[in-house]
Structure 1
């Protein structure tokens, strides 16, 4: 066998090592997707989804190239390995795989324009504590088609983001508390699996904390008196109650303005999206001393051009938000 040194590139994922840790990104893979869609020179935008649907594309007109739509969205699914900021947008695009419309493809083009302006984003892994904690949220009846809710969560191991999800719930929730409770059960199961994995690796860990912004769901998870009033919630979602009673997980309240999982449940205004993104991901890779990398230099030059192309009004809103906390939803 031959020693090849530190890993730098594997299956489309670039790995940059620095004193701060490891930075994983898929910049070249994202550029290939843009080239495939013919949007290499498109104008970038500051968020992956628009809060208001496009008034130009019709949701009732089928897209003329469904195979192209499926190919692009399938490629975007692989991109979410290092890009949790596009998880909700990609999940939303996947729901139209069978029969995409012109409006669906317009949403995918908007997402690709966002990628054009954020090619350097990725995951940072640094040394730190090995305590597990998670953020859980839901968008109650957010889907206008079937009124199902969306579950969103992200899990951290110390300072590192290691797991996240944006997924429509399988059934309709009759209240926001029910939707939030279903999301709590999902993230509790994820934390349980991660705890077992850490135990197998002989890694000690404290009782994980779940941060939730719904007081009713928190009360339901810790106070059995409320259970008599919630029989419409499926029994299997009382899994979280058993975990709390066994002191295997702790559920605590967090304000809606600081809820990071909000990023995985619905389209957000540019200012709100950028505020949460700044807390979730680093915006650029660390400096590398491996010598001159032509692709890296080209990407950095492209990033500079893309940032200058974003509307000054959007940049000013992001600047104002970074100076003061965002208002609750």
Structure 2
């Protein structure tokens, strides 16, 4: 099944429409779409994003676009701002067959703010051999500056999954940052200096095929030996969701770490599947690709083995959904594990390959 994304337009509601508060204004708009325009407009709106008093909707054909404008202008006081090109520091380039999103302008502003616009570029955001710890004997640095830099980088992860792991690792030391931590943060900015225009590429034609990658770095944290787990999810060949997080408990085996990661990925995948069902799109069974054979086999083994009782029961719900055919865990070799890029630091060759596979490109 192929779908074609239309050009994006942005509507700006007037202060009069939102004087009772953004939430009440949005509730009023939501009720209007459901009651008045649900069949004709709402189901045709595949992408809907609201922020305060601003709304992004897909452009339709001229006839439907006119109907949309007349219906909404009769209910709300608003202005049409034309084709979307900039939204919340995200630059959006729309071409005939693709949409490209990046934060190049924001990156340049932050490099200038922190006096790093002339630093020597780096090919990777973090050395593949680095192991950050509390560095108890290291020299303390300005915590306010460190947190400001971290905050700027966290906002960039909305379009740059390639820096997700490095940024999340550095956030763990905000309470008492040392010189080694600040050096790691500056290394990320030096990488951004080398790739300011890198962003996410979305083709207008794609298949409705929801699939995910799940990975874990067993005992990767040098401080408490907790594992870092990550997932990235695709709709067709388009990256639509990613995260990286340290697990809450210490895993006693690689299988446990990978199994917990797959369980978290399963929960997010089921949520995404339900969202698509609201638009009458059934994606069927969701394949989750994992590079651990034991974890993959574990989901299909309904017998509780004595060696696996230490794994938290809350993570076993993935078995239920495997038996219901909602998801299926598939083995993928480590070389093709795309979630590696948000699980651990990588060397240049591997990082650049995974960037391309995720759909990160530099149109310049």
Normalising by structure 2, we get a TM-score of: 0.75
2:200–2:361 Cα contact (<8 Å) kept: no
1:203 & 1:40 partners in 2: Cα distance?
A: 46
1:125-274 superposed matches below 5 A = 125-126=202-203, 127-225=205-303, 227-274=305-352
Once the two structures are superposed, what CA deviation does each residue of 1:226-282 show, in whole Å capped at 9, x if it has no partner?
A: 544300000001011111011100110111111011111111111111121121133
Give the distance between the partners of 1:48 and 1:60, measured in 2 at CA. Answer: 25
Q: Which residue of 2 aligns with 1:81?
A: 158
CA distance in 1, matches of 2:266, 2:115: 42
Measure the CA separation in 2 of the matches of 1:90 and 1:60.
Answer: 23
> What do the CA deviations read for 1:4-59 (whole angstroms, capped 9, x no partner)?
2110001100011012221111011111111122110111111111123399xx66
Residues 54 and 206 (structure 1), Cα distance of their counterparts in 2 relative to 1, 3 Å cut: closer
Hey, what's the Cα distance between the residues in 1 that align with 2:360 and 2:112?
25
Tell me the equivalent position of 1:36. Answer: 113
Give the structure with the higher percent strand: 2
Find the structure with the greater CA-based Rg.
2
Partner of 1:315: none
Aligned-residue CA RMSD (Å): 1.7
5+ residue gaps, structure 1, are 286-299, 301-329
Question: Which 5+ residue runs of structure 2 have no aligned equivalent?
Answer: 1-77
CA contact (8 A) 1:219 1:226 kept: no
Q: By how many angstroms is 1:62 displaced?
A: 4.1
Matches within 5 A, 1:273-292: 273-285=351-363
1:115 corresponding residue in structure 2: 192
In structure 1, distance between residues paired with 2:231 and 2:180: 27
Distance 1:54 1:91 in 2: 13
Give the match for residue 69 of structure 1.
146
C-alpha offsets along residues 99-152 of structure 1, whole Å, 9 cap, x if unaligned? 111111000010000000111111112221111100110000011110000001
Residues in 1 aligned to 2:318 and 2:302: alpha-carbon distance in whole angstroms: 12
The answer to whether the aligner puts 1:8 opposite 2:85 as a matched pair is yes
Secondary structure (helix, strand or coil) at the match of 1:244 reads helix
Whole-angstrom distance in 2 between the partners of 1:260 and 1:213: 10
8 Å CA contact retained: 1:177, 1:214: yes
What is the aligned partner in structure 1 of residue 125 from structure 2? 48
Return the structure number with greater helix share: 1
